[in-house]
Chains A and B, each alone.
Chain A
Amino acid sequence: MRVNVDQDRCCGSGMCVLTAPGVFDQRDTDGIVVLLAERPPEDAWRDVRDAESGCPSQAIEVTEE
């Protein structure tokens, strides 16, 4: 699994940090998404998919590769 985030689309809701805290964080200056793990471990995949579908601004994209 590969994760991509679009910081321009992000609205800083923090839903991804709440859902998959090891994979996503927020930038201190403006709360915008920061990707911690571009290729997250398998045990986080389910949470990452939840974070993708729960992201209100569609700023997270997951590709299976």
Chain B
Amino acid sequence: MTTAAHPSAPLTVPAARGGCPFDPPPAYEQARDEQALSRVQLWDGSTCWMVTRHADIRSVLRDQRFSADASRPGFPFLSAGRRALTTDLPTFIRMDDPAHARLRRMLTADFMIRKVAAMRPAVQAVADDLLDRMTAGPGRTADLVAEFALPLPSVVICLLLGVPYAEHAFFQECSSTMLRTDAPPEEVSGAQKRLLDFLTGLARAKRSAPDDDIISRLVAQGELDDEEIASMGRLLLVAGHETTANMTSLSVLAMLREPAQAERLRQAARQDAEGDGTALDTAVEELLRYLTVVHSGLSRVAVEDVEVGGTLVRAGEGVLCMLGTGNRDEAAFPDGDQLDLERPGARRHLAFGFGVHQCLGQPLARLELRVALPAVLDRLPGLRLAVPFEDLRFRHEMAVYGLHELPVAW
């Protein structure tokens, strides 16, 4: 075991991406190929460890000696805004067990495989309806993000939570501000506060008029007060929005860039319609691996001295797990930089994180992608970019990577 020397000029996080906007920043990839752990510098001048290899990320994220509690000294924040978000009312993603498990288990039944699978017709209906509207007018161009990729998961999570979709302009704006890593902390806190107030009001209203949704059920359970329910609802609403939306738009863009892969996806969708969804499952897992929208690193802090990949991380030191480089690690995924929709073992990706905090909504995300991608390819066989590729605006400054807009023509 060695204790790595601290380089004189550590790598700064977040780093810029390189030529291919689908690939992780070259600086992270270089760090991964050179050494297991690297010292990196954060926005406030503090330093922490960056974990970039698949096996090391898995070992950190499932090790309870690494805490997700942001109130612990040494916890690495990715921006001033991220720090501001966690100081108010922490959600269970910023707690350790047993507090984390207690709260998470109030929601696990809603996202279990069987229940989510039963939502397929409803999700399909939402997707079909959005594409009907998008293609109804005389024009043959649209922004696929605004017209399809974002509203699809938004309508679905609103249905589940019991949030009126009519308010979507308001909460999407809050959600988007909260995910900006370049926004002033007051702005980020303000957006969170407005969203929490809105959801607290909703929880209060459901006390007198309950419905068949998650917020009503949490109210009826009687274990949480309205503010705590709002906090949980905020987490689900934000997490349910931006992740699938960006996976959908980036996946469609990847298909437009690689027509052979698009053809594979179409074939997988045909097999799925005939009752064999295996190929479509594999394709979706590969897109999750290749694109890894949660690109800014998962934060943990060591509560004891722990050795990771031969390096000693001392108690009180922060670590950032870079899911994107882990998902391109050649040791786990040969030819990892290639998109291969038939890749065996693609499901071992880390796009949903790992450990007890692994994404609760992953069955829903998978279902939405399995419905959304075939729907787009099927309805719009002549789909193409409406602007030059170079003009697309990627979400470098957001905690969830993706596209601000995806102008398409058909």
Contact = CB atoms under 8 A, between A and B. Distances in A.
Contacts of B109: 12, 28-31
Contact of B113 (A14, A32, A50, A54): A14
Contacts of A29: 109
Interface residues of B, number: 25
Contacts of B362: 13-14
B114 A11 contact: no
Q: Is the interface of A mostly helix, strand, loop or mixed?
A: loop
Given A12-B360, A13-B358, A26-B113, A19 B347 contact: yes
A56 B363 CA distance: 14
A62 interface: no
A56 B358 contact: yes
Interface string B102-140: 001100111111100000000000000000000000000
B348 interface: yes
Contact of B348 (A12, A26, A28, A54): A54
Given A17-B113, A18-B113, A57-B62, A11 B347 contact: no
Among A15, A31, A32, the most chain B Cβ lie within 10 Å of the Cβ of A31
Given A14-B113, A26-B114, A56 B347 contact: no
Contacts of A17: 112-114
A58 interface: yes
A11 B104 contact: yes
Contacts of A13: 352, 358-360, 362
B355 A32 contact: no
Contacts of B114: 17, 25-26, 28
A56 B108 contact: no
In which size bucket is the chain A interface? 20 to 34
B198 interface: no
A14 B355 contact: no
A10 to B, nearest CB: 9
Among A17, A25, A57, the most chain B Cβ lie within 10 Å of the Cβ of A57
A14 B347 contact: no
A58 B61 CA distance: 11
Contact of B105 (A18, A32, A54): A32
Contacts of B110: 31
B101 interface: yes
A18 to B, nearest CB: 6
A31 B108 contact: yes
Interface in B321-348: 347-348
24 contacts: A12-B108, A12-B109, A12-B111, A12-B360, A13-B358, A13-B359, A13-B360, A14-B113, A15-B358, A17-B114, A26-B108, A28-B112, A28-B114, A29-B109, A30-B108, A31-B108, A31-B109, A31-B112, A32-B105, A56-B62, A57-B62, A57-B356, A57-B358, A58-B62
Interface of A: 11-15, 17-19, 25-26, 28-32, 50, 54, 56-58
List the 10 closest pairs (A to B, CB-CB), nearest first. A12-B108, A31-B108, A31-B112, A56-B358, A26-B112, A11-B356, A14-B113, A17-B113, A31-B109, A57-B356
